[in-house]
Amino acid sequence: MNQFRFIKLGQKGNWEEDCLKSGVLKLSFQNAAHEDCNQGKWTKVESALAKIQSYKPTVSIWISELKYFYTEPESVIWITFHKGKMWWCNAKPGVTEIVENGAKVKLRKCTKAGWRCKDLKGKDLNLESISGRVLKTRGYRGTICRFDVPSENYLQRRISGEVDPDVINTQVMLQNLDDQVLNLITKLEQYEFEHLVDLIFARSGWVRDRSLGKTEKTIEATLKNALTGETAHFQAKCSTSSKVYSAWQQEAYAFPQDKKFFFTHTFKGPEPEIVDGFEFVGPKRLAVMVTRMGLTDWVMDKLS
């Protein structure tokens, strides 16, 4: 089990680009002598810092941050955040001091792998998929801090590309729910199925413009997206085949709407190829839409 440390790369992140590109970690602390830190003379370092900061708790935090930077072993994983991703690295032992723009900067090199923003299985570590428990460290007012044990356990799994067992169990339960809901959907009458599709569109921001099912066999209704202004039409058939779908697709080309949707809960034949402007919503995708949009109760009520 690795230990993890968060590091803020420069004031307001002004070192992030350089550090991530160069494969290094940087720390300032002008009043902490590099030689004293390197030799572990922390009492002397503390005395120097106390001359510029009389509040002892703040000095204690600074000392802790310096100790992390100078003494943490290579096994520790360093975490930072930049441009919508979580980055991580291991750092080689040993700190050097350089001068940048007239200021002394403490520098520690990453291992050969450098900074990475993917897990060990190659998946991007995008911030929208990272736990808020970890992300809250972005608000830390200092420079370096440790994570609590639950966060370290989470980070170990994420970087290894492993999924939380509870998430796996939930995924299995959702798949079972999707299968059960699809079985219920197949019992709906045609007009009930069309109503269900209407509800799916309504919860997706689409508003029915015109109903044409009685006069136009290719189109059940036309719609407009209230947010984007896009137009669409759809057809809904309880049961159909690839042959019927292909014929519908050829006829649908003649209509001016931006998108053409086709819904069915029972489909005979191979899944249609993706074609620009067309959306085929077959059994599996339909079931997911119904469960995730909160329409399961509606389906159950129709069949109770």
Burial label, 159 (beta-carbon count in 10 A; 0-12, 13-18, 19+): buried
| Helix locations, the chain, DSSP H | 16-22, 34-38, 42-50, 56-71, 132-135, 149-160, 165-185, 190-202, 242-252, 283-292, 296-303
* Mean pLDDT, the chain, integer: 94
The whole-number pLDDT of residue 210 equals 67
User: Measuring CA to CA, which residue among 37, 46, 135, 19 is closest to residue 84?
Assistant: 135
Ranges in the chain annotated CATH 3.40.1350.10: 167-303
For residue 191, pLDDT beyond 70: yes
- Looking only at the bridges linking them, the beta strands covering 77-82 and 24-27 are unpaired
Task: Write out pLDDT tens, residues 198-232.
Answer: 999 999 999 887 665 454 566 778 899 988 999 99
Pick the CATH number of 167-303 from 3.40.1350.10, 2.40.30.170, 3.30.1330.10, 3.90.209.20: 3.40.1350.10
Residue 292 neighbours by CB under 8 Å, 6+ apart: none
Task: Write out pLDDT tens, residues 116-163.
Answer: 999 999 999 999 999 999 999 999 999 999 999 999 999 999 999 999
Sign of CA dihedral 177, 178, 179, 183: positive
Task: Write out pLDDT tens, residues 30-65.
Answer: 899 999 999 999 999 999 999 999 999 999 999 999
Record the pTM. Answer: 0.79
The 3 state secondary structure assigned to 35-56 is HHHHCCCHHHHHHHHHCCCCCH
The 3 state secondary structure assigned to 51-84 is CCCCCHHHHHHHHHHHHHHHHCCCCCEEEEEECC
Distance CA 73, CA 86 (A): 21
Q: What are phi and psi of 208, to 5 degrees?
A: -65, 130
